[in-house]
């Protein structure tokens, strides 16, 4: 028997468009706060720099955001879900070399979660120094308080405040448009800057103009979020709202350019063109709106990090960690360990860099790498899923590789500003690498045997009243996909030392599907009411609640008269009709007999250390402690060479 649950497709409504605005555009939508300030810096203001900067930003948004993400990448729809792990799940069977790009992409996206909140919030709060009476106010403590409160409230969920995100972002983008258009109408010649010739002129003729791409890239850092949040909004909602968002962004950038060219000074002297567009009476309100928009942007990054780690756990890229669901809202999760790491990272960022302008010099490198990895995986999707001709795929990939490689080279210069940040990225990368490849080595030494050969012995044991009953229902978690297969360690667990007698023996296999929200099962009875195997199919975005699912399956089997719950001969059923379930978890540890090569030794020892630091198996599977029996089994991967012991 089999049960399936399907997602409802995302429809386009006024509410869904509002939700899309509130969820996915925080990062890219708040970029006008710092992008143009980073491009101009303290350089002498001249037309080549200003027009060239606007032209580069415009065409970056066209190619990187509109073409690559909005048109192409959003087509990589995995049952309504997006993100690098969803893309990997779609194409992993078509290539052997996709694991490292996936790990690199995920690592750099998670790293973005540490620098985006502080740079966004700091850029907004720093506008206070322009408000009369607030010139000397310290902004760093305010940023720390805002970020700390934001991370603290994650444990309660964001369902209630989430309803306000959409309207706030509508106000934010409307403000961007109004501020920009007021300057464009006064100086319409600034529209000439959209000509790609100015971008070419900046990159080739302006002194060290190519390196300004590191600042230009900040305009599209949130593009990856458009794909990652696909499951929350749907393709049509994202594409429709992007037309509005892009118009507001470009208009504001043009307005900043117009103001810079006509403000009358040779250099900016630390001024932020974004806030200079505002009339003085509106500054305090503008700073408030900007701060709320950056908080929403930070929330999107934090929620995205939770989702990504949850997917990584379910796809065996990350150790099992505690995952909670703070609200009834589907897909909203809270991971305490990730929340703490991000909070500490963000606070250290703002304490180290002190201001958004210093963070601009370190920002962008991670996302460039993430985009390059997405491009690589996307090529497999276009080839093997959409069946595009190779010549078209290669042409498109060549275009984006050239663009992203240019951004990467320009951002490499930022390494010296962010060297300490590399340690965090190295930690994430090594954790994923060790967990994935050590598990592969572990699985290589897992021995499967034919369960059918032991069915009669299991039946005899169940009926042998001389042996004390272990439980009425004995459930083993198995990795075996096939109906007849079972790990040899499970058979040893049943028969070795104290044989485990039960009325019914269950073998439960959890299959992590490539679809995000699959929840189905199949049942195979090898011996009626005695030896039963269940395959439970769970999507990679679902946190398993195995015991709950299992008991529901048993109820369905009894209701359909496919299973008889046994009456206990000791008469205890009279007082407690509930079946006695006992789950057996077999914990492995490295035997002292092992001898490893250097690489395997490092991988496996690191793997078991990470395993001890992570969530225990019974918690990860969603089992109650009272119903679980833990057994420890030594693992011998590579025995020590034979040695002769001489008796003296």
pLDDT for 505-563, tens place per residue?
A: 888 888 877 677 778 888 887 777 788 888 888 876 677 777 888 888 888 888 887 77
Domain positions in the chain are: 14-432, 448-635
Average pLDDT over residues 82-94: 86
Spatial CB neighbours of 79, under 8 Å, sequence gap ≥ 6? 7, 515, 516, 517, 518, 539
The better pLDDT of the pair 245, 441 is held by: 245
pLDDT category at 247 given cuts 50, 70, 90 is: very high
Q: In the structure, what pLDDT confidence band is assigned to residue 250 with cuts at 50, 70 and 90?
A: very high
What mean pLDDT comes out for the span 485-500? 82
Both tokens of 140, joined, read: 């760093």
CA distance 265 to 45: 8
Give the mean pLDDT of the chain.
81
The partner residues of 487 in beta bridges, in order of sequence, read 448
Helices within 445-523 (DSSP H only): 455-463, 488-495
Alpha helices in 211-270 (DSSP H): 213-216, 223-228, 230-233, 235-262
Note whether 289 and 172 are within 8 A (CB): yes
Examine the pLDDT at 108 and tell me if it is beyond 60: yes
Higher pLDDT, 20 or 278: 278
Residue 176's Cβ-side half-sphere holds a number of Cα atoms within 13 Å equal to: 24
pLDDT (0 to 100) of residue 328:
54
Residue 644 clears pLDDT 80, i.e. is over it? no
Report pLDDT for 182.
Answer: 92
Mean pLDDT of 3-20: 60
Looking from the CA of 352 toward its CB, the CA atoms found within 13 Å total 19
- Per residue in 201-222, pLDDT (tens digit) is 999 888 888 988 888 988 888 7
Question: Rounded to whole angstroms, what are the CA distances from 313 to 335, 432, 543?
Answer: 12, 9, 9
Instruction: Please write the tens of the pLDDT for every residue from 388-429.
Output: 999 999 999 999 999 999 998 888 877 776 677 778 888 889
The confidence score (pLDDT) of residue 594 equals: 58
Residue 9 has pLDDT above 50, yes or no: no
pLDDT of residue 330: 54
Q: DSSP assignment of 304-364, as one string? A: HHHHHHHHHHHTTSS-----B--SSSTT--B-HHHHHHHHHHHHHHHHHH-SHHHHHTT-S
* Of the candidate ranges 2-16, 229-243, 318-332, 584-598, the one whose mean pLDDT is the lowest: 2-16
Q: List, as one string, the DSSP characters of 129-179.
A: GGSTT-TT--HHHHHHHHHHHHHHGGGG-SHHHHTTHHHHHHHHHHHHHHH
Higher pLDDT, 460 or 601: 460
In this predicted structure, the answer to whether residue 597 has a pLDDT above a threshold of 70 is: no
- The mean pLDDT of 75-83, rounded to a whole number, is 79
Q: Which of 48-62, 141-155, 324-338, 386-400 has the lowest mean pLDDT?
A: 324-338
Please answer whether residues 480 and 487 qualify as being in contact, where contact means their C-beta atoms are separated by less than 8 angstroms: yes
pTM over 0.85: no
**pLDDT above 50 for 269:** yes
325 to each of 79, 477, 627, 638, how far by Cα in Å? 22, 24, 23, 42
- Maximum Cα interatomic distance, the chain, rounded to a whole number of Å: 102
pLDDT for position 585: 79
Instruction: Write down the pLDDT at residue 638.
Output: 58
Q: Residue length, the chain?
A: 648
The 3-state secondary structure of 258-273 reads: HHHHHCCCCCCCCCCH
In angstroms, the CA 365 to CA 409 distance is: 9
List Cβ<8 Å contacts ≥24 apart for 119-122.
Answer: 119/34, 119/349, 119/356, 119/359, 119/360, 119/363, 120/26, 120/27, 120/30, 120/33, 120/294, 120/297, 120/298, 121/146, 121/147, 121/291, 121/294, 121/295, 121/298, 122/350, 122/355, 122/356, 122/359
The stretch 423-442 carries a mean pLDDT of 85
SS3 annotation, 396-423: HHHHHHHHHHHHHHHHHCCHHHCHHHHH
pLDDT of residue 566: 55
Domain covering 14-432, topology: Amino acid/polyamine transporter I (1.20.1740)
For the segment 260-285, the average pLDDT, to the nearest whole number, is 86
Share of the chain above pLDDT 90, in %: 16
The pLDDT score that the predictor gives to residue 637 is 61
Tell me the C-alpha distance between 512 and 605, whole Å. Answer: 26
Contact 141, 350 (CB under 8 A): no
- Which range among 154-163, 178-187, 514-523 shows the weakest confidence by mean pLDDT? 154-163
Instruction: Round to whole Å and give the CA distance between 234 and 296.
Output: 19
Return the closest-CA partner of residue 107 out of 421, 475, 476: 421
For the chain, percent helix, then strand, then coil, each to nearest 5?
Answer: 60, 10, 25
């Amino acid at each position: 028997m089999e049960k399936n649950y399907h997602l409802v497709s995302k429809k386009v409504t006024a509410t869904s468009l509002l939700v899309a605005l509130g969820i996915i555009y925080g990062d890219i939508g708040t970029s006008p706060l710092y992008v143009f300030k980073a491009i101009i810096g303290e350089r002498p203001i001249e037309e080549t720099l200003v027009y060239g900067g606007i032209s580069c930003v415009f065409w970056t948004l066209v190619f990187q955001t509109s073409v690559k993400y909005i048109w192409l990448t959003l087509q990589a729809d995995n049952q309504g879900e997006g993100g690098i792990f969803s893309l990997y799940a779609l194409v992993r069977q078509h290539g052997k070399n996709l694991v490292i790009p996936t790990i690199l992409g995920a690592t750099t996206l998670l790293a973005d979660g540490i620098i985006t909140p502080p740079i966004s919030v700091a850029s907004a709060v720093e506008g206070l120094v322009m408000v009369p009476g607030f010139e000397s106010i310290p902004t760093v403590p305010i940023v720390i308080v805002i970020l700390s409160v934001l991370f603290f409230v994650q444990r309660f969920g964001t369902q209630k405040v989430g309803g306000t995100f959409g309207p706030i972002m509508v106000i934010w983008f409307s403000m961007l448009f109004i501020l920009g258009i007021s300057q464009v109408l006064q100086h319409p010649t600034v529209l000439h800057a959209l000509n790609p010739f100015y971008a070419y002129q900046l990159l080739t003729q302006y002194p060290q103009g190519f390196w300004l791409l590191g600042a230009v890239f900040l305009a599209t850092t949130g593009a990856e979020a458009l794909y990652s949040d696909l499951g929350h909004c749907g393709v049509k909602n994202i594409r429709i709202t992007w037309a509005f968002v892009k118009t507001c962004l470009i208009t504001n950038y043009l307005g900043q350019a117009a103001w810079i060219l006509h403000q009358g000074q040779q250099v900016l002297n630390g001024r932020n063109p974004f806030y200079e567009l505002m009339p003085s009476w509106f500054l305090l309100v503008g700073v408030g709106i900007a701060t709320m928009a950056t908080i929403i942007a930070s929330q999107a990054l934090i929620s995205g990090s939770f989702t990504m780690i949850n997917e990584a756990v379910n796809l065996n890229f990350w150790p099992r960690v505690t995952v909670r669901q703070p609200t009834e809202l589907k897909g909203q999760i809270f991971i305490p360990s990730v929340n703490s790491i991000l909070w500490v990272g963000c606070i250290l960022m703002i304490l180290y860099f002190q201001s958004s302008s210093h963070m601009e010099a370190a920002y962008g490198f991670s996302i460039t790498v993430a985009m390059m990895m997405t491009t690589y995986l996307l090529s497999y999707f276009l080839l093997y899923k959409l069946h595009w001709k190779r010549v078209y795929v290669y042409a498109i990939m060549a275009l984006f590789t050239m663009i992203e490689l240019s951004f990467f080279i320009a951002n490499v210069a930022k390494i010296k500003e962010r060297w300490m940040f590399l340690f965090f990225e190295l930690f994430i990368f090594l954790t994923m690498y060790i967990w994935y490849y050590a598990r592969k080595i572990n699985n290589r030494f897992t021995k499967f045997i034919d369960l059918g050969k032991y069915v009669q012995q299991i039946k005899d044991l169940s009926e042998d009243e001389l042996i004390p009953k272990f439980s009425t229902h004995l459930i083993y978690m198995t990795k075996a996909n096939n109906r007849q297969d079972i790990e040899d360690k499970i058979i040893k667990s049943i028969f070795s030392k104290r044989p485990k007698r039960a009325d019914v023996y269950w073998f439960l296999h959890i299959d992590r599907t490539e679809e995000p929200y699959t929840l189905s099962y199949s049942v195979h009875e090898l011996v009626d009411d005695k030896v039963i195997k269940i395959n439970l199919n769970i999507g990679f975005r679902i946190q398993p609640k195995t015991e709950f699912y299992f008991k529901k399956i048993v109820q369905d089997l009894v209701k359909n008269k496919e299973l008889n719950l046994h009456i206990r001969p000791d008469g205890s059923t009279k007082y407690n009709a509930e079946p006695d379930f006992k789950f057996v978890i077999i914990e492995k540890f490295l035997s002292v007999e092992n001898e490893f090569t250097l690489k395997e030794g490092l991988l496996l020892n690191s793997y078991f250390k990470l395993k001890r630091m992570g969530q225990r198996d019974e918690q990860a599977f969603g089992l109650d402690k009272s119903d679980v029996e833990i057994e420890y089994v030594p693992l011998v991967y590579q025995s020590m060479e034979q040695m002769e012991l001489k008796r003296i």
